[in-house]
Structure 1
Amino acid sequence: MLESMFIGLSGMNAYSNGLKDVSNNITNLNSQGYKGSNLVFRDLYSSGSDLAYTGDGGGQGVSLALTQLDFSQGELRQTESSLDLAIDGEGFLVLEKDGEYFYARTGNFEIDEDGYIVLSGTDYKLTLLNENGRAEPVSVNSSRISQPEATTRVQFTDNLSSSSLGFTVADVTIFNANGEAADWSVAFTREETDPSGEWKVTVTDGNDNEIGVQTLKFNLGRPTEDSQELTFSDDERGYSVVFDFSENVTSFSSGEVSTLRAGDVDGFGIGDLQTLGVNDDGVFELQYSNEQTTELGSVALATFKDPQSIEQRSGGVFVNEDSRDVSLYSSSSELVGRVLSNRIEASNVELSSEFGNLILVQRGYQASSQVVSVANEMIQQLFQTRGQ
Structure 2
Amino acid sequence: MGFQQGLSGLNAASKSLDVIGNNISNASTVGFKQGQTQFADVYANSLNGSSGGTVGIGTKVSGVVQQFTQGNISTTNNPLDIAINGGGFFRMSTNGAITYSRNGQFQLDKQGNIVNAQGAQLTGYVANSAGVLSTGAAAPININTADIPPAQTAIINSVMNLDSRKLVPGTQTPVAIPPVITPTAFSPTDPTTYNSSTSIAVFDSLGNSHVVQSFFVKVDNLNAATPPTAPATIEWDVFATVDGVLIAGTGATTNSIGRIGFDNLGKLTVATPPFAATDPKAFKLTVPVGTGAVTPINTTVDIKYDFTGTTQFGSDFSVSKNTQDGYASGKLSKFNTAKDGTIVGSYTNGKTAVLAQVVLANFTNPNGLQSTGDNQWIETATSGNALIGPPNSGSLGTLTSSATEDSNTDLTGELVNMITAQRVYQANAQTIKTQDQVLQTLVNLR
Same fold per superposition (TM over 0.5)? yes
Residue 235 of structure 1, CA deviation: 4.2
Is 1:160 the counterpart of 2:162 in the alignment? yes
CA contact (8 A) 1:298 1:331 kept: no
CA pair 278-272 structure 1, distance change in 2 beyond 3 A: same
1:81-120 superposed matches below 5 A: 81-119=78-116
User: Which residue number corresponds to residue 22 of structure 1?
Assistant: 20
Matched residue SS, 1:108: coil
Residue 321 of structure 1, CA deviation: 2.9
TM-score after normalising by structure 2: 0.78
Cα distance in 2 for partners of 1:136, 1:55 equals 57
**CA deviations over 1:136-174 (Å, ceiling 9, x no partner):** 102223x5321111111101112122223511112x111
Is 1:215 the counterpart of 2:252 in the alignment? no
User: Which residue number corresponds to residue 231 of structure 1?
Assistant: 285
Bigger Rg, which one = 2
TM-score after normalising by structure 1: 0.89
CA pair 223-169 structure 1, distance change in 2 beyond 3 A: farther
Cα distance in 2 for partners of 1:328, 1:11 equals 43
1:39-118 superposed matches below 5 A: 39-48=37-46, 58-118=55-115
Answer 1 or 2: which has greater helix percent. 1
Query: Once structures 1 and 2 are overlaid, which stretch shifts more, 348-357 or 223-232?
Result: 223-232
CA contact (8 A) 2:27 2:407 kept: yes
Query: Once structures 1 and 2 are overlaid, which stretch shifts more, 257-266 or 67-76?
Result: 257-266
Cα distance in 2 for partners of 1:129, 1:245 equals 38
CA contact (8 A) 1:162 1:253 kept: yes
CA contact (8 A) 1:188 1:200 kept: yes
Query: Once structures 1 and 2 are overlaid, which stretch shifts more, 153-162 or 15-24?
Result: 153-162
User: Which residue number corresponds to residue 341 of structure 2?
Assistant: 282
1:204-353 superposed matches below 5 A: 204-206=241-243, 208-212=244-248, 213-220=256-263, 221=266, 222-227=268-273, 228-237=282-291, 238=293, 239-254=300-315, 257-260=316-319, 262-322=321-381, 324-353=384-413
Q: Residue type matched to 2:259 in 1? A: L
User: Which residue number corresponds to residue 184 of structure 1?
Assistant: 212
CA pair 111-205 structure 1, distance change in 2 beyond 3 A: same
Q: Which of the residues 143, 146, 169 maps onto 1:144?
A: 146
Cα distance in 2 for partners of 1:245, 1:295 equals 29
CA pair 333-55 structure 1, distance change in 2 beyond 3 A: farther
Residue 248 of structure 1, CA deviation: 0.7
CA contact (8 A) 2:42 2:59 kept: yes
Q: Residue type matched to 1:276 in 2? A: F
Superposition RMSD on alpha carbons, in Å? 2.4
**CA deviations over 1:208-240 (Å, ceiling 9, x no partner):** 222343232313131424343232221434452
Is 1:10 the counterpart of 2:71 in the alignment? no
The number of residues matched between the two structures is 374
Q: Structure 1: any 5+ residue segments left out of the alignment?
A: none
Q: Residue type matched to 1:18 in 2? A: S
CA pair 367-326 structure 1, distance change in 2 beyond 3 A: same
CA contact (8 A) 1:129 1:135 kept: yes
Matched residue SS, 2:33: coil
Answer 1 or 2: which has greater strand percent. 1
Cα distance in 2 for partners of 1:166, 1:26 equals 78
**CA deviations over 1:226-257 (Å, ceiling 9, x no partner):** 34323222143445242433421122222xx2
Cα distance in 2 for partners of 1:88, 1:100 equals 25
Q: Which of the residues 213, 238, 241 maps onto 1:201?
A: 238
Cα distance in 1 for partners of 2:416, 2:285 equals 79
User: Which residue number corresponds to residue 125 of structure 1?
Assistant: 121
Cα distance in 2 for partners of 1:174, 1:163 equals 31
Cα distance in 2 for partners of 1:281, 1:301 equals 10
Residue 185 of structure 1, CA deviation: 1.8
CA contact (8 A) 1:282 1:299 kept: yes
Q: Structure 2: any 5+ residue segments left out of the alignment?
A: 127-133, 167-193, 225-232, 249-255, 274-281, 294-299
CA pair 357-55 structure 1, distance change in 2 beyond 3 A: farther
Cα distance in 1 for partners of 2:214, 2:385 equals 65
Query: Once structures 1 and 2 are overlaid, which stretch shifts more, 124-133 or 28-37?
Result: 124-133
**CA deviations over 1:238-281 (Å, ceiling 9, x no partner):** 45242433421122222xx2113553210111111111221233
Residue 324 of structure 1, CA deviation: 4.8
CA contact (8 A) 2:155 2:306 kept: no
CA pair 324-71 structure 1, distance change in 2 beyond 3 A: closer
CA contact (8 A) 1:15 1:64 kept: no
CA pair 210-194 structure 1, distance change in 2 beyond 3 A: farther
Residue 331 of structure 1, CA deviation: 1.3
CA contact (8 A) 2:125 2:141 kept: no
CA pair 127-276 structure 1, distance change in 2 beyond 3 A: same
Residue 189 of structure 1, CA deviation: 2.6
Cα distance in 2 for partners of 1:48, 1:144 equals 75
Cα distance in 2 for partners of 1:82, 1:223 equals 51
